[in-house]
Every structure is written in structure tokens, then in C-alpha cells.
Amino acid sequence: MNSQRKVAVVTGAGQGIGRAIAIRLAKDGFAIGCLDFNANTAKDSAKHIADGGGEALAVKVNVVERDQVFAAVAEVVAHFGRLDVMINNAGLGPITPIEEITPEIYRAVFDVNVGGTYWGIQAAVKHFKTRKPAKRGDVIGKIINASSQAGQVGNPDLAVYGATKFAIRGITQTAAKDLAALGITVNAYCPGIVRTPMMEGIAQVVAKQNGKSVEWGLEQWAKTVALGRISEPEDVAACVSYLAGPDSDYMTGQALIIDGGMVFN
């Protein structure tokens, strides 16, 4: 391990946006901790990175469990010797018509999306605090959280998911203020309609209701995008690459929208 190589941890790195982020940051020169609930997909992502000449470690973790998140991050730090960027990407996004929300759905989605973000932040700060910024304003660590276009505006049938993503924007803003003096920046990214297994699952429900294909379901969402197409995971990974790199050192508390033109602020 090159001691000068920075290290990023990505939760939900086994598929979709998380996997694209892990691969992109490996290309940017980071060693990657690939964390995922599914040990096999985490290993697949790590192998893909290693086959491309990068360095990666796969760790199984349930982000609902605070102790598991702390242990997983500690394992990555023990393996690579440091931590520079923590990306809290793992999430659930079920369709939840307002009258069909149950306590079980509410708790499951909030525990993963919001709880997992809290625990990831805490685990990262524990390791970031071992280093001190040379002067006020120097950045020694970065935390990047997954919000969403659905965390900017309310989306039909996504009351639980959207609520978690609005919450993550608030957590991001508060953590940015709380951690700035330690040299830690905290930002978020807000994807729109992305071709991922989670989004395909949502599109499948819409398509089935209309007797159409999954691709038809995805295209219905694409009609709301100014650029006329749904995004690929790599589009989002490019945004995260910016947040993880030095060009964003003077940015904190922000939620960057990368949705092809759905929400305009």
C-alpha cells in the first residue's frame, strides 16, 4: 500500500450508484473500502477495481447496525492505514403510497437511509480526529452523503424515501457546521432518475400496472428530465468524484443536484 494514496469508504458499493462511485474513485487514485450488505457483490466490486490496477477491500456490513459500521470502517483503516473520504451511499427506495405506509416500512427505510448515514458520519469522524488541520480551513477529511432529487421536492408514492432524503440534507448541513473546525467537510449529492436495480424495481411496478416493459417504465420517468434521458450511475459518480477531490475543498454543507434538469434552484 502506497502510504500517500488516499482512502475512501463507500457503503452500498456492491451495485448501482455505489459500485460506480467505488470504481470512479479508484480511477481517481483512491484505495477503496467496498462496504455492502451483500458480501458477494462487495467482493465483485473490489475484484473489478483490483483487476483494473486499483486497490480495494470488500467488507460485509449492515449499515443499520452502528457497531457493524464502526467495525467495518476500522477494518478498512487497519488494512490501508488511513481514511480520507467517507461516502454514505447505501439506501432503500420502496414505492410507498401514503395510505399503505406501515410501521415496518417506515422503520426499515429510515434505519438504513438515515441511521446508516448517522453511523457512517460517526465512524468516519472517529478516524478523522486522529489528524489535526495545520491551520483553520485546512481539510483533513470529507464526508459525502446520498440525498436525492426526491430530497429536494416531493415525489408521488415516495413519501418515506423522500422524507429520508430531505432528512439527509438537514443532517449534511448540521454536520458541516459541527465538524468544520475539525477540518472535515460534509456535502451531499442528489441524483435524479438513475438506471440502477433500485430504480428498475420502481419502474417495474409502474410498467406492470400498465402492461408494459421495464424500459417503458423508465422512459416515463425520463419525460420529466430536461436532457431527455435517465442518468447512468457513472453520471452520479462523476459528481461524487468532484466532491471527493481537492477542487471542492472550499465547499461544505451543500447538496449538489445531478439529475439532468429536473429540479432548478
**Which residues are part of the catalytic machinery?**
161
DSSP conformation letters of 119-145: HHHHHHHHHHTTS--SSTT---EEEEE
Question: Largest alpha-carbon pair distance within the chain?
Answer: 61
Report residue 221: phi and psi, to 5°.
Answer: -70, -35
Give the cell for residue 170. Answer: 438537514
Whether the Cβ atoms of residue 194 and residue 259 lie closer than 8 Å to each other: no
Report residue 46: phi and psi, to 5°.
Answer: -65, -40
From residue 154, how far is each of 147, 196, 210, 216, 264 by CA, in Å?
A: 13, 20, 23, 23, 14
